[in-house]
Structure 1
């Protein structure tokens, strides 16, 4: 192996020592910036823009004694995401996490319907194979402050949100609740828990990291592009008669080479027509009729006293899904009865 090859091999070895995470989720879920925060990674975007970034972002840092690389992807199902934009997002997500992520983190707000997240898992399975879901995906629940103070997430999923529970089941039961941490000790514990779940998933997958034919192809393209860039830079700096590699080439130089290689790979040749048939591409949940109704319902529930919150939600959901005047009357009746039952139980326990 020549000096160029040795340099690239060392760069690859360093990359393999990193814990690579691909963070997915709908716009506005708060997941990408929250994951970067909990892992102690710098977010180069202003807070008000971090969830609306229109390009993939790659962040590096150290967390809980580990080297971590986080790539966050924009929403693949946004209402303004056309076919070309979607191809660019997915291509960049795969290229920036080559030779393969250790885990896919799908951020799911607990107070939203799970239609977008279900489609995201479907796309991952079709593009990368079912093992991407069953072995290497972790559901990361966000907006946890929407739950009642004494409400356990497990009870909430089993009783109220079986659609979210179905997501967890598809991912082999793996999930993490992303809560706001106060204090260095609590934050360190949260980091440790997150990364332990990632490492457990990798161990159970019996592979160093996730891999599939598409990732293998991209990894080879990146490696070849790195080699071309190193040789071009050597020629521009010293000419053909110079030594193969400058002795003062640093790790930072090689990192710059990698980043240039990743940027210049371009969009991958992905057949997204099969993965995203027009008949099933959902509009962003913020613009869909169900998403609008759900958002209004959740917003209204914030003003409802805690004791009647679940009962009101139950009645409202009945009215929402039955529909029409009959649904409205039925939902109101169910909610009122459930509320009264809860009040009486509370009085008896006093």
Structure 2
């Protein structure tokens, strides 16, 4: 019988009532096999750094236990954890009969534990839940209460225990002389295997789950690629519209400049011609005084026309001439 334990952390922590320090998943492996083969530490950090497989005969049944690193070991990246878990899968070929999801009793159901359940389902597929037993440790911290009392207080745990194929079981890893907790666990595993048609979780199921992950990742990348392409397309379209606006504005400026140039030239010609006529033909004082003004205005308009032609005057401001 092959068991794989997929917890989120090691250690039950200290209890202020009796000062004893329990242990988590590695101690659970020792309890199942009835011997100290996995390293146990009271530290809250993950003790198991590598996948480790140990075996032993338990009540006439050969049991193989694969200990995994903590799923949320802060010393490792998500990719490194995933690689280690894959090593554990290869250690249990052709596949484990049960996954044991180890969760501590007497503490809150944390966000990490929620993520652990999600992580298992995402990485091992929906089939994995049918081969999983929720294994509570530190049963002694209940102080005489039943596990069902804890489940009543935590809807998420209760819902989780119902959705898993093997339900739940509880351990007190300090009670080495308890003759019932390990046989009862093995019995639950056998019942779960029977419900699964006598089959164990296979490497093919794992590969199928990983295939789905790769396909989902590929879809995500494709979607990201399409999103970026759409953003680039919109950006190019905006730039194109902006360029068109600038061209249109430039075109209007040229038209305005040409119109203003024509106005300035026309004013120049009119003022000069009228001024010359008045200056040569008129004999009144007013006419003689008006002629120089018209000539000056004509010269000014001519200068304006030259500026417009050379681009030194504002093209957007029409030339206003008062005659």
Q: TM-score range by the shorter chain?
A: 0.5 to 0.7
Q: Find the partner of 2:30 among 29, 34, 37.
A: 37
Q: State the partner residue of 2:168.
A: 175
1:173 and 1:91 map into 2 onto residues whose CA distance is 23
Q: Find the partner of 1:73 among 65, 68, 74.
A: 68
For residue 90 of structure 1, report the CA deviation from its aligned partner: 1.7
Answering whether residue 204 of structure 2 is matched by residue 208 of structure 1, we say: no
Q: Find the partner of 2:114 among 105, 113, 118.
A: 118
Q: Find the partner of 1:166 among 153, 156, 159.
A: 159
Relative to 1, partners in 2 of residues 1:153 and 1:93: Cα closer, same or farther, differing over 3 Å?
same
- SS for the counterpart of 1:77 is coil
Q: TM-score, normalised by structure 2?
A: 0.56
- SS for the counterpart of 1:157 is helix
Give the number of equivalent residue pairs.
205
1:65 and 1:207 map into 2 onto residues whose CA distance is 19
Deviations 1:16-71 (A, max 9, x none): xxx10001112224332222222214415354579512111111111111101000
2:68 and 2:215 map into 1 onto residues whose CA distance is 17
Answering whether residue 6 of structure 2 is matched by residue 24 of structure 1, we say: yes
- Does the 8 Å CA contact 1:102/1:209 hold for their aligned counterparts? yes
Relative to 1, partners in 2 of residues 1:212 and 1:95: Cα closer, same or farther, differing over 3 Å?
closer
Q: State the partner residue of 2:188.
A: 197
Q: State the partner residue of 2:103.
A: 108
- SS for the counterpart of 1:25 is coil
For residue 144 of structure 1, report the CA deviation from its aligned partner: 2.2
Answering whether residue 56 of structure 2 is matched by residue 61 of structure 1, we say: yes
- SS for the counterpart of 1:179 is coil
Relative to 1, partners in 2 of residues 1:44 and 1:182: Cα closer, same or farther, differing over 3 Å?
closer
- Does the 8 Å CA contact 1:41/1:59 hold for their aligned counterparts? no
2:110 and 2:144 map into 1 onto residues whose CA distance is 23
Q: State the partner residue of 2:148.
A: 154
2:132 and 2:176 map into 1 onto residues whose CA distance is 28
Which stretches in structure 2 are left out of the alignment for 5+ residues?
12-22, 221-323
Deviations 1:218-243 (A, max 9, x none): xxxxxxxxxxxxxxxxxxxxxxxxxx
Q: TM-score, normalised by structure 1?
A: 0.52
Q: Please report the RMSD computed on the Cα atoms of aligned residues, expressed in angstroms.
A: 3.2
Relative to 1, partners in 2 of residues 1:38 and 1:183: Cα closer, same or farther, differing over 3 Å?
closer
- Does the 8 Å CA contact 1:99/1:215 hold for their aligned counterparts? no
For residue 89 of structure 1, report the CA deviation from its aligned partner: 1.5
For residue 207 of structure 1, report the CA deviation from its aligned partner: 3.4
For residue 176 of structure 1, report the CA deviation from its aligned partner: 0.6
- SS for the counterpart of 2:6 is strand
- Does the 8 Å CA contact 1:114/1:163 hold for their aligned counterparts? no
- Does the 8 Å CA contact 1:41/1:60 hold for their aligned counterparts? no
2:215 and 2:102 map into 1 onto residues whose CA distance is 23
Which stretches in structure 1 are left out of the alignment for 5+ residues?
1-18, 218-267, 278-350
Q: Greater relative contact order: 1 or 2 (C-alpha under 8 angstroms, separation 6 or more)?
A: 1
For residue 272 of structure 1, report the CA deviation from its aligned partner: 11
1:63 and 1:54 map into 2 onto residues whose CA distance is 26
Q: State the partner residue of 1:288.
A: none
Deviations 1:61-116 (A, max 9, x none): 11111101000111122222213312321211211111110000000112132422
Relative to 1, partners in 2 of residues 1:168 and 1:123: Cα closer, same or farther, differing over 3 Å?
same
